Amino acid sequence: MKVLVIGSGGREHALVWKIAQSPLVEKIYCAPGNPGIGRIAENIDIKVDDLPRLLEFARRENIGLTVVGPELPLSLGVVDLFEEYGLTIFGARRNAAVIEASKAFAKDLMKKYHVPTAAYEVFTEVEPALAFIDRLGTPIVVKADGLAAGKGVIIAQTRGEAVTAVTEMLTGNAFGAAGARVVIEEFLRGEEASFLAFTDGKNIVPLASAQDHKAVFDGDQGPNTGGMGAYSPAPVVTPAIHEKTMTEVMRRTVDGMAAEGRPYRGVLYAGLMIDGGNIKTLEFNARFGDPECQPLLMRMKSDIVPILLAVAKGDISGMEIEWFEKAAVCVVMAAQGYPGEYRKGDEIAGLEEAAKMEDLSVFHAGTALKGDKFVTSGGRVLGVTAMGNTVKEAIERAYRGVSAITWCGVHYRKDIGKKALGKQ
Ligand code: AMP
Ligand code: GLY
């Protein structure tokens, strides 16, 4: 079978890497892909939002399975379009992907179906928003409604910061249409985890637990990024938390979406805040998390292709996923300046040395080829992902890979996985 993966980040490199191990697959294409992906798949120069060309390519090449990585094509309706033409595609339809594309939709859904989440209200006008800020007090969280690449969330420590955030989102143009509505919510304390599950709209099969590291600097300091590293399993997701999440978050959400006439098919990602035995849902994503996807797929023992096919065809009943009883850790290596303006075009050294290391993969996210040399071309450049018998061993292995690689201005967190140590 021929497979097409849509996207160009570390998540897509990990997906292509895992799909390539399936005996069912004869050829993989990736649109648009990246130079790392290009070593195992054929990159096709089509952008993720160019739906007509993606469709034309998939039909012409007789693609048996298309896998969508990022949220943008999902929220543009790539799944609906491919299905209209009888193609098999893994991902949420447009009316289900709204669970990520609109935070206001997600919050209203959670309220209606009793999914635990922070107290909130949605605003389109500044005055009532300010009154709500005064009522809730600080710290308080202000979120742009629409897709904002992980940058539309402001944790305001003071009233002044909250007022500035709300005013800028509702009246400025920094967030464009994404900021036309804001969600203001209660600030939650605790430890975050990423809970992902496959669903066909009815049955739910969870993936292994994972934890992301959103802040750019060690100790969770500095602005939020798309994710600076991740590991799996996450001990904060105890068996009791797992059960609670399955019944109170996943089951209620999947049933709620079906009841709304928006059956959810694909991978559903809940961002959780865990505080003792309590869970609250911070957000939903309609896709695999990145970088979480990298350690998760490294730990997946089962062939992923039959799973993706079953989800895409709408029946995962009886499906089971096997996992390696090991830990995996991904350390993101980023360009200087990320998540703000960042350097580009720096030559990356050490990739060959890292490639020789055992139980380690270097997934490319923002790289380009200049002649025969790899250079940086994105904010998150590489995801160095390693597996070990324990989190400690996986951390050591991943950082051994990281220390083999360098470029001018490279930045990475030194504490990925630290929260899991001592909890195992
Ligand atoms: P979101 O895109 O809604 O998940 O928000 C991005 C990040 O902001 C989360 O991963 C948390 O680190 C933080 N965050 C979001 N909502 C809250 C909240 N209500 N309380 C505390 N932190 C939050
Ligand atoms: N790593 C968080 C996300 O993919 O949204």
Q: Of 345, 353, 351, 375, which Cα lies nearest the Cα of 363?
A: 351
User: Residue 423 — pLDDT band, cuts 50, 70, 90?
Assistant: confident
> What does the pLDDT read at residue 62?
98
Label residues 181-210 b or e (16+ Cβ within 10 Å = b). Answer: bbbbbeebeebbbbbbbbbbbebbbbbbbb
8 A C-beta contact, residue 294 and residue 330 = yes
Is the pLDDT score of 139 beyond 80? yes
Read off the pLDDT of residues 211-252 as tens digits, 9 standing for 90 and up: 999 999 999 999 889 999 999 999 999 999 999 999 999 999
Distance 227 CA to ligand 2 centre (A): 6
Residue 322's CB is within 10 A of a number of other CB atoms, namely 10
Is the pLDDT score of 385 beyond 80? yes
- At 383 the three-state DSSP class reads strand
Topology of the domain covering 191-313: D-amino Acid Aminotransferase; Chain A, domain 1 (3.30.470)
Q: Which of 157, 196, 282 to mutate to test the pocket of ligand 1 (most atoms within 8 A of CB)?
A: 282
For atom 9 of ligand 1, which residue has the closest CA?
282
User: Which ligand approaches the C-alpha of residue 193 most closely?
Assistant: 1
The answer to whether 2-94 and 327-420 have equal CATH topology is no
> What does the pLDDT read at residue 341?
95
Q: What is the mean pLDDT of residues 169-178?
A: 74
For atom 2 of ligand 2, which residue has the closest CA?
289
Is the pLDDT score of 61 beyond 80? yes
> What does the pLDDT read at residue 180?
79
8 A C-beta contact, residue 177 and residue 102 = no
The percentage of the chain sitting over the pLDDT mark of 70, rounded to a whole number, equals: 97
Question: What is the spatial distance between Cα 283 and Cα 117, in angstroms, rounded to a whole number?
Answer: 9
The percentage of the chain sitting over the pLDDT mark of 90, rounded to a whole number, equals: 93
For atom 11 of ligand 1, which residue has the closest CA?
282
Q: What is the mean pLDDT of residues 55-63?
A: 98
> What does the pLDDT read at residue 178?
62
8 A C-beta contact, residue 286 and residue 96 = yes
Domain boundaries, the chain: 2-94, 125-180, 191-313, 327-420
Read off the pLDDT of residues 21-51 as tens digits, 9 standing for 90 and up: 999 999 999 999 999 999 999 999 999 999 9
> What does the pLDDT read at residue 146?
78
Read off the pLDDT of residues 252-311 as tens digits, 9 standing for 90 and up: 999 999 999 999 999 999 999 999 999 999 999 999 999 999 999 999 999 999 999 999
Distance 163 CA to ligand 2 centre (A): 27
Q: What is the mean pLDDT of residues 139-164?
A: 87
- At 324 the three-state DSSP class reads coil
> What does the pLDDT read at residue 424?
58
What is this structure's pTM? Answer: 0.96
- CATH numeric code, 2-94: 3.40.50.20
Question: What is the spatial distance between Cα 307 and Cα 65, in angstroms, rounded to a whole number?
Answer: 11
> What does the pLDDT read at residue 417?
96
Read off the pLDDT of residues 184-203 as tens digits, 9 standing for 90 and up: 999 999 999 999 999 999 99
For atom 5 of ligand 2, which residue has the closest CA?
289
- CATH numeric code, 125-180: 3.30.1490.20
Is the pLDDT score of 149 beyond 70? no
Question: What is the spatial distance between Cα 219 and Cα 165, in angstroms, rounded to a whole number?
Answer: 24
Read off the pLDDT of residues 324-353 as tens digits, 9 standing for 90 and up: 999 999 999 999 999 999 999 999 999 999
8 A C-beta contact, residue 122 and residue 104 = yes
- At 334 the three-state DSSP class reads strand
Is the pLDDT score of 5 beyond 90? yes
User: Which ligand approaches the C-alpha of residue 332 most closely?
Assistant: 2
For atom 3 of ligand 2, which residue has the closest CA?
289
For the chain, what is the mean pLDDT? 95
Is the pLDDT score of 150 beyond 80? no
> What does the pLDDT read at residue 161?
95
> What does the pLDDT read at residue 145?
86
Distance 3 CA to ligand 1 centre (A): 35
Distance 270 CA to ligand 2 centre (A): 10
CATH homologous superfamily for 327-420?
Phosphoribosylglycinamide synthetase, C-terminal domain (3.90.600.10)
Question: What is the spatial distance between Cα 142 and Cα 122, in angstroms, rounded to a whole number?
Answer: 10
> What does the pLDDT read at residue 172?
74
